[in-house]
């Protein structure tokens, strides 16, 4: 990947353009996918704190596990809170909700300071070493735990913003995890063009992400104001797609992991209405409320440009999640 990052604009344009045509996706997505993989390699193999991160979220499902057919431009990462001065178990100490919120604020503040004063300068220095063209780094103004990277782009697409977002937080659990190998789509199409086609990345195991997505849907099924957050349809798509793979059976065989995920959310992201205590096999809810379904369907429609291959309708997704919910309840009644 590093020699591609230093190739001339003409050669990169030809590589990404041809690969995009062969795969049937936009040039801009092909280009951005390369830089997503490139910066993951820089972070996990070149940065000063390379061992202190874990890859999670939708991008890990598509790039690490090939479990979904969705281009996810944001990179969700977990920062080891021990890097911020905490012991392994200190964040789990018993606190009132008010005390926990105050603790979270301190952790988030330390994370923001680390990103701005340590990690971002380190990534910028490494990029200047490895990339032949200027790359701009900045901290997202409305989310100080996000490093934005404006890469040297050759293509334009109304949907694809030519920047990568490293969304990094310490208040997340990364066990169980495993190593996954990711590679750019361009390397899949033209492997001989790459001296290094792939990179090994520490990644949250897919069965945990399955339960993380399920708990997100459970929370949304109890939302009291009816205001669905933007770009949330992806969670419904992701869980539906995971339910069509062997991951579903693996996750359903590890119910304790569901309890762990729900308990973590209850402690660190307490909500008076989310009903995390009912995120159990017997009571979990995955199907969206009727009053939010139309908004989610519209959101899903706007996602179509970043979905590959067969694209299930939103009605099909809701139907599939209903079946998954019923299966969970059936299994819960048996335990």
pLDDT, the chain, mean: 96
pLDDT, residue 224, reads: 87
Q: Is 309 left (phi over 0), alpha (psi -120 to 50) or beta?
A: left
Q: What pLDDT is attached to residue 305?
A: 86
Bridge-based pairing of strands 163-169 and 146-150 is: antiparallel
User: How many CA atoms within 13 Å lie on the side-chain side of 235?
Assistant: 21
Task: Report d(CA 176, CA 99) in Å as an integer.
Answer: 28
How far apart are the C-alpha atoms of 303 and 233, rounded to whole Å? Answer: 8
* Structure tokens given for 20: 């995009």
For the chain, the straight-line distance linking the first and the last C-alpha, in angstroms and rounded, comes to: 49
- Read off the pLDDT band of 247 (50, 70, 90): very high
Angle 72-78-79 (CA atoms, 0-180°, nearest 5)?
140
Work out whether strand 74-79 and strand 136-139 pair parallel, antiparallel, or are unpaired: unpaired
Omega prior to 260 cis, within 30 of 0:
no
pLDDT band for position 109 (50/70/90)? very high
| Contact status, residue 169 vs residue 22, Cβ threshold 8 Å | no
Q: Residue 29: is its pLDDT beyond 80? A: yes
Instruction: With a cut of 90, say whether residue 215 has pLDDT above it.
Output: yes
Report phi then psi at 297, rounded to 5: -65, -40
Mean pLDDT score, 201-226: 96
Give me the helices (H) in 131-164, please.
Answer: none
pLDDT digits (tens, 9 = 90+) for 125-160: 999 999 989 999 999 999 999 999 999 999 988 778
- Residue 83: burial class (beta carbons within 10 Å; 0-12, 13-18, 19+): middle
CB-count exposure of residue 297 (10 Å: 0-12, 13-18, 19+): middle
- Strand 146-150 and strand 136-139: the pairing is antiparallel
pLDDT in tens, 19-28: 999 999 999 9
CA–CA distances in Å: residue 255 to residues 85, 207, 246, 282: 32, 10, 15, 11
Residue that the structure tokens 């009571």 belong to: 283
Which helix (H) or strand (E) element contains residue 139?
Answer: strand 136-139
Report the distance separating Cα 65 and Cα 77, nearest Å: 16
């Amino acid at each position: 990947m590093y020699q591609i990052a230093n190739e001339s604009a003409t050669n990169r344009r030809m590589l990404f353009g041809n690969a995009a045509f062969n795969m049937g996706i936009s040039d801009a997505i092909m280009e951005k996918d390369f830089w997503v993989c490139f910066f993951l390699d820089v972070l996990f193999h070149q940065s000063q704190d390379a061992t202190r991160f874990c890859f999670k979220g939708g991008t890990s499902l598509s790039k690490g596990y090939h479990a979904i057919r969705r281009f996810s431009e944001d990179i969700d990462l977990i920062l080891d809170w021990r890097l911020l001065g905490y012991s392994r178990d200190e964040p789990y100490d018993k606190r009132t909700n008010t005390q926990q919120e105050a603790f979270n604020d301190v952790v988030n503040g330390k994370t923001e300071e680390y990103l701005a004063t340590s990690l971002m300068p380190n990534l910028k220095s490494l990029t200047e070493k490895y990339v032949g063209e200027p790359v701009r780094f900045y901290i997202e103004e409305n989310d100080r735990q996000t490093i934005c990277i404006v890469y040297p782009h050759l293509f334009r697409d109304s949907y694809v913003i030519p920047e990568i977002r490293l969304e990094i937080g310490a208040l997340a659990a990364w066990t169980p995890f495993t190593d996954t190998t990711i590679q750019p789509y361009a390397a899949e199409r033209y492997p001989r063009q790459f001296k290094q086609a792939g990179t090994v990345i520490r990644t949250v195991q897919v069965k945990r992400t399955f339960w993380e997505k399920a708990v997100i849907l459970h929370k949304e099924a109890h939302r009291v104001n009816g205001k669905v957050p933007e770009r949330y349809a992806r969670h419904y798509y992701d869980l539906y797609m995971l339910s069509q793979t062997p991951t579903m059976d693996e996750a359903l065989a590890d119910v304790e992991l569901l309890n762990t995920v729900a308990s973590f959310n209850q402690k660190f992201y307490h909500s008076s209405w989310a009903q995390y205590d009912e995120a159990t096999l017997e009571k979990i809810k995955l199907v969206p409320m009727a009053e939010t379904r139309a908004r989610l369907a519209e959101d899903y429609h706007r996602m179509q440009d970043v979905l590959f291959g067969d694209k299930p309708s939103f009605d099909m997704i809701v139907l599939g999640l209903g079946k998954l919910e019923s299966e969970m309840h059936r299994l819960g009644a048996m335990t």
